[in-house]
């Protein structure tokens, strides 16, 4: 494999909200010498915000609502890190981000254990056989028992665990972690942040008792025996298939255990993997360039009203200014200024390789799932499409801003989180989202980025269906169900069924039509 491609490590961080995801991202960047100091997540007005949460609404609420991409070097590797939203209302952004990575870091809060959103995201990783590394965070708080946490990961997340480190002490009496493979003890000192790595003879080394106290060492020895005697040893092949995960313990906010975690990604996580298309599997070291769009983000730079398409490069490499083939439209396009990211800060790059995630300026040409190649007609598969579950009519509060609202709705719906519909019987647009909180984000962004103040009135609906079939039947259906029918942005007919009875009636009366659950169905 090309040494440049071999160096790439592309991974996402997934977790339940508040498990410490943004904090650990900051520490990674600090180790990559990308930022000088890590900003605290809910920094006050006079301090820097976290680098990865760049939208105003993210900074105000202290949550991530959009995946951000961060590129940084570490120990001879080039990391592409996708920081994903933890909140379930933004899960479709996370699901798409998981299609663009080769591994994932699952972050677990030691106090709360495995939480609901982690389970949902882990299901996606399992479906894709994504290699997983687990970090149990917040060991400086009084959390659950170590063996309970390991047992919970195995039973709830359905993946075998292989602890690489074990903690000694917990909460205010957390002493540090013991590295099983290296027989080293990493001391934890929250007061001055100094960390020592002490070589031990083994878990019976008397210096451990001197450093940690007999009670904690006795508990640690029990756990050590259970882990080394009763658990399967780490198997790299099983890890690569997503069947076994290394487990590390630490405290991200105290920058403890983070370096071992990054080292583990550099050593264990795979370089770019083979990707499936509708024609054939694509190997990363093929000469021909190929990539797909997994995310579109509008207005990363409010001054320029820009739109950025995020590309995952799957094979080969490309040089700035080269022409590539846009499979869906059949057009050749020039990638004039590909960029690497530090959240919203961009830097134009001259070269990118398989495994890299780069941004390209989007003049309105790209859609999520688009494939770019050197000319081969193929499409990467497995990029999910989601049907909205919540709907609202968008009423403009200042009629003079209708152009701004139309532009804002069109551009924000291109990002994939919001779907825009045009009702057959009304001039008032309808938007659909997967999670309720998306409505708040949409309203906020229309106001702050486009100057359009809107009111969102919920539309009660049982479900949405894409109506396909013979033209005459589609026309007849649209006439009968006109009050519930709308056109999507591709001018496909969709029906917002108000209840199950209406859906069943349509299925019975229109046997020649198909009622698909997603636009790709």
The string of pLDDT tens digits covering residues 124-144 is 788 778 999 999 999 988 989
- Pinpoint the residues of the chain covered by CATH 3.40.50.300: 3-71+84-270, 276-373
Local structure of residue 256 (DSSP, 8 states):
B
Helix (H) or strand (E) holding 410: helix 402-414
Dihedral (Cα; 212, 216, 221, 222), 10-degree rounding:
-170
Residue 83 annotated as part of some ligand binding site: yes
Is 21 labeled as ligand-binding?
yes
Structure tokens at 213: 């106290």
Mean pLDDT for the stretch of residues 456-481 = 91
Tell me if 85 is assigned to a ligand binding site: yes
Q: How confident is the model at residue 344 (pLDDT cuts 50, 70, 90)?
A: very low
The reply to whether 138 sits in an annotated binding site is yes
Question: Mean pLDDT over residues 89-103, rounded?
Answer: 72
Query: Residue 305's pLDDT is what?
Result: 57
Task: State the fold for domain 3-71+84-270.
Answer: Rossmann fold (3.40.50)
15 assigned binding-site residue: yes
0.85 cut: is pTM over it?
no
User: Average pLDDT in the 51-58 region?
Assistant: 43
CATH class of 390-516: alpha beta
For residue 2, the model assigns a pLDDT of 87
Q: Which 3 state secondary structure label does DSSP give 471?
A: helix
pLDDT at 53 > cutoff 50: no
**63-67, 412-416, 507-511: range with highest mean pLDDT:** 507-511
Annotation-wise, does 140 bind a ligand? yes
137 is in an annotated binding site: yes
CA pair distance 153, 244, nearest whole angstrom:
11
18 is in an annotated binding site: yes
52 band by pLDDT with thresholds 50, 70 and 90:
very low
pLDDT at position 301, please?
Answer: 54
Looking at the DSSP assignment, which residues form a beta bridge with residue 185? 178, 198
What DSSP element (H or E) covers 99?
helix 91-99
- Express each pLDDT in 278-321 by its tens digit: 999 999 999 999 999 888 776 555 555 567 788 899 999 988 88
3 state SS for 478-515 = HHHCHHHEEECCCCCEEEEECCHHHHHHHHHHCCCCEE
Q: What percent of the chain lies above the pLDDT cut of 90?
A: 41
Mean pLDDT to the nearest integer, 67-71: 68
Handedness of CA 412, 415, 419, 425 (dihedral sign): positive
Q: What letter does residue 173 receive in the DSSP assignment?
A: G
276-373: CATH homologous superfamily? P-loop containing nucleotide triphosphate hydrolases (3.40.50.300)
């Amino acid at each position: 494999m090309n040494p440049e491609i071999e160096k790439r490590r592309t991974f996402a961080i997934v977790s339940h909200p508040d498990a410490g995801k943004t904090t650990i991202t900051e520490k990674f960047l600090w180790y990559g010498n990308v930022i000088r100091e890590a900003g605290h997540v809910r920094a006050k007005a006079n301090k820097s915000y976290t680098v990865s949460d760049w939208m105003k609404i993210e900074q105000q609420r202290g949550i991530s609502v959009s995946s951000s991409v961060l590129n940084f070097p570490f120990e001879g590797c080039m990391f592409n890190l996708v920081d994903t939203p933890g909140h379930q209302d933004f899960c479709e952004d996370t699901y798409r981000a998981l299609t663009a990575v080769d591994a994932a870091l699952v972050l677990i809060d030691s106090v709360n254990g495995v939480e609901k959103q982690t389970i949902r995201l882990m299901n996606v990783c399992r479906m894709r056989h994504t290699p997983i590394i687990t970090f149990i965070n917040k060991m400086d708080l009084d959390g659950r028992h170590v063996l309970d946490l390991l047992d919970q990961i195995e039973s709830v997340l359905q993946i075998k665990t292989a602890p690489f480190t074990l903690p000694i002490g917990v909460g205010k009496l957390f002493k540090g972690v013991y590295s099983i493979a290296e027989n080293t003890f990493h001391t934890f000192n929250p007061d001055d942040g100094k960390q020592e790595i002490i070589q031990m003879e083994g878990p019976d080394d008397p210096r451990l008792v001197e450093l940690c106290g007999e009670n904690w060492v006795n508990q640690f020895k029990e756990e050590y025996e259970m882990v080394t005697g009763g658990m399967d040893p780490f198997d790299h092949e099983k890890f690569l298939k997503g069947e076994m995960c290394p487990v590390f313990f630490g405290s991200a906010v105290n920058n403890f255990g983070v370096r071992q975690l990054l080292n583990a990604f550099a050593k264990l996580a795979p370089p770019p993997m083979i990707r499936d298309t509708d024609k054939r599997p694509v190997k990363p070291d093929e000469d021909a360039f190929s990539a797909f769009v997994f995310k579109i983000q509008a207005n990363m730079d409010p001054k320029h009203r820009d739109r950025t398409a995020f590309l995952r490069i799957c094979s080969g490499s490309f040089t700035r200014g080269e022409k590539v083939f846009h499979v869906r439209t059949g057009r050749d396009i020039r990638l004039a200024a590909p960029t690497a990211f530090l959240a919203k800060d961009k830097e134009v790059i001259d070269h990118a390789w398989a495994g890299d995630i780069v941004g390209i300026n989007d003049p309105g040409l790209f859609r999520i799932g688009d494939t770019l190649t050197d000319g081969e007609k193929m499409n990467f598969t497995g990029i999910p499409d989601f049907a909205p579950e919540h709907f609202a009519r968008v009423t403009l509060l200042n009629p003079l801003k209708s152009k701004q609202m139309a532009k804002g709705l069109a551009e924000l719906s291109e990002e994939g989180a919001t779907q825009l519909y045009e009702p057959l019987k009304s001039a008032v647009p309808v938007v659909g989202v997967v999670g309720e909180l998306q409505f708040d984000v949409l309203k906020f962004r229309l106001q702050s980025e486009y100057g359009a103040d809107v009111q969102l009135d919920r539309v009660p609906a049982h479900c949405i269906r894409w109506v396909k079939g013979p033209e005459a039947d589609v026309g007849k259906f649209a006439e009968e169900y006109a009050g519930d029918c709308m056109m999507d942005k591709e001018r496909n007919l969709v029906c917002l069924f108000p209840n199950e009875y209406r859906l069943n009636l349509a299925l019975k009366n229109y046997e020649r039509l198909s009622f698909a659950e997603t636009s790709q169905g």
